Amino acid sequence: MAAQNIPLVLGSKQMIEGFEDQMVGVNTGAERIIKVKFPKDYPKSELQGKKAEFKVLCHAVAEQKLPEVNEDFIKSYGVQEGGLEALKKELRQHMERELVENSRSYVKRQLMDGLLDMHKVELPDVLVDQEIQQLQQQAMQRMGIPQGAAAHLPRDLFEEQARRRVALALLIAKIFEEKKLKADATAVKAKIEQIASQYEQSEQVVQYYMSNKNLYRQIESLVIEDQVINMLLEQAKTSQKDMRFSELIEANQKAA
How do residues 209-228 score in pLDDT, each as one tens digit? 999 888 898 899 888 888 89
- Whole-angstrom Cα distance, residue 50 to residue 131? 27
Q: pLDDT at residue 22 above 90?
A: yes
What local confidence, expressed as pLDDT, does residue 256 receive? Answer: 67
Q: Is 57 or 180 the better-scoring residue by pLDDT? A: 57
Q: What is the pLDDT of residues 138-197, one digit of tens each?
A: 887 777 766 665 455 678 888 888 999 999 999 998 998 888 888 888 989 998 998 888
SS3 213: helix
- Whole-angstrom Cα distance, residue 164 to residue 116? 8
What local confidence, expressed as pLDDT, does residue 147 receive? Answer: 63
Q: pLDDT at residue 127 above 90?
A: yes
DSSP string, 146-177: -GGGGGGS-GGGTHHHHHHHHHHHHHHHHHHH
DSSP string, 93-122: HHHHHHHHHHHHHHHHHHHHHHHHHH----
Amino acid at 129: D
What local confidence, expressed as pLDDT, does residue 146 receive? Answer: 66
Q: How confident is the model at residue 36 (pLDDT cuts 50, 70, 90)?
A: very high
CA torsion, points 238, 243, 246, 248, in degrees to nearest 10? Answer: -10
- Whole-angstrom Cα distance, residue 255 to residue 248? 11
The CATH number of the domain covering residues in 1-65: 3.10.50.40
Amino acid at 109: R
Q: Where in the chain is the domain with CATH 3.10.50.40?
A: 1-65
Q: Where in the chain is the domain with CATH 1.10.3120.10?
A: 113-255
Provide the H-helix boundaries in 21-82: 71-75
Percentage of the chain modeled with pLDDT above 70? 96
Q: pLDDT at residue 88 above 90?
A: yes
What local confidence, expressed as pLDDT, does residue 55 receive? Answer: 94
Considering the chain, what is the average pLDDT of its residues?
Answer: 87
What local confidence, expressed as pLDDT, does residue 152 receive? Answer: 59
CA-CA-CA-CA torsion sign (186, 134, 129, 50):
negative
What local confidence, expressed as pLDDT, does residue 74 receive? Answer: 92
End-to-end CA distance of the chain: 20
- How many CA atoms lie less than 13 Å away from 214 in the CB half-sphere? 0
The CATH number of the domain covering residues in 113-255: 1.10.3120.10
CA geometry: angle 56, 58, 59, nearest 5 deg? 135
Burial category of 220 from C-beta neighbours within 10 Å (exposed 0-12, middle 13-18, buried 19 and up) = middle
